[in-house]
Amino acid sequence: MKIDLHCHSTCSDGTYDPNVVIERAHQAGIDVLALTDHDTLRGIEPARIAASAHGMTLISGVEISCEHELSGGYGKNKSTKKIIHVLGLDFTDHATMQATLQSLQDSRATRGQQMTQKLSELLDLEFAPLWQAICEKAGGNPQAVGRAHIGQVLYEQGLVKTVQQSFDKYLADNKPAYVAIEAISMADAIALIQRCGGKAVLAHPTRYQLSATRVRKLISEFASLGGDGCELPANSEPVSTRKMVDRSIAEHKLAVSVGSDFHGSNMPWRRLGDVPRLAEAQRGIWQDFTALA
pLDDT category of residue 242 using cuts at 50, 70 and 90? very high
Domain residue limits at 138: 3-292
pLDDT in tens, 153-191: 999 999 999 999 999 999 998 899 999 877 799 999 999
Say yes or no to pLDDT of 74 above 80: no
Domain count within the chain: 1
Q: Give mean pLDDT, residues 91-117.
A: 88
Burial per residue of 179-209, b for 16 or more beta-carbon CB atoms within 10 angstroms, e otherwise: bebbbbebbbbbebbbebbbbbbbbbbbebe
Q: What angle do CA 44, 50, 56 make, to 5 degrees?
A: 95
pLDDT in tens, 127-162: 999 999 999 998 888 877 889 899 999 999 999 999
Model pLDDT, residue 118: 97
CATH (domain of 32) = 3.20.20.140
Please, which contacts does 126-135 make with residues 24 or more away whose CB atoms are closer than 8 Å?
133/157
The pTM (predicted TM-score) of the whole model is: 0.80
Question: What is the chain's mean pLDDT, rounded?
Answer: 93
